[in-house]
Amino acid sequence: MTGPTDFAALLQRLLDVEVEFILVGGLAANVHGSARATFDVDVVYRRTGDNLDRLVRALAPVQPYLRGAPPGLPFVLDAGTLRRGLNFTLTTAIGDIDLLGEVVGGGDYDALLPQSASIEMFGRSCQCVSLPTLIRLKRAAGRPKDLEAIAELEALREEREHD
Amino acid sequence: MAPLPVSLEPDPVIEAYKKDVDRTLLRENLKLSPEARLRKLQDFVAFTAVLRDAGRRSRT
């Protein structure tokens, strides 16, 4: 991938084949109103057999490959690969995407689902983690680089409460 | 895997960072729909790619 991530195209691919996923990370923050830039799509995906098949169907046509890995590795994104792993940082022909089986502080898809909301985008419904849970996830990750992002998300929550 | 309990009590470090958050940007974003926020991000990311390419060309 050489160009910028096409967020809409990546999300639409997942929505087209009804992948069960929850938007998290920087893109979820932007959906809630964050003004910080992000350059990839982070999703927590459901690890059922059917959903792994849908995920492969969505992404296989855009040549997913391990982000940052040297070229030429025998990496194939199929249901077996997904089953044997958990979290994948991928690059594709239309941008970068992180497929997360679990997230620190949030657990897996089923644990996170009640902490998410359906958001209308591109004429479709997309599950997006709630703002309080996004703050909780960022805090749980405990990364110094997230401190400014957490501060912004908390300010965002205050602004929404004042509305 | 169950979610870990994480406190949302005020954290002094985060509170210190919060003072520098530009809330005018947040208020503008809150006027937009989620889809419009995503399109705005897309425009910004595309712009940074143009700048990056221009910088790369200027060095060669």
Nearest CA in chain A to B30: A33
Provide the token pair at A108.
């897996």
CA distance B53 to B8: 41
Contacts of A115 in chain B (CB under 8 A): 3
Q: Taking 70 as the threshold, does the pLDDT of residue A2 lie above it?
A: no
Whether residue B4 and residue A104 make contact (CB cut-off 8 A), yes or no, is yes
Q: Which residue has the tokens 């590795």?
A: A73
Mean pLDDT for the stretch of residues B30-54:
94
Count contacts between A and B (CB, < 8 Å). Answer: 107
Q: How far is CA B56 from CA A1, A27, A81, A122, B50, in A?
A: 17, 27, 36, 34, 10
SS3 of A15, please?
A: helix
Provide the pLDDT for residue A139: 93
Sign (positive or negative) of CA dihedral A129, A133, A135, A141:
negative
Provide the pLDDT for residue B34: 95
Provide the pLDDT for residue A162: 82
Of B13, B37, B45, which is closest to A31 when you measure between CB atoms?
Answer: B37
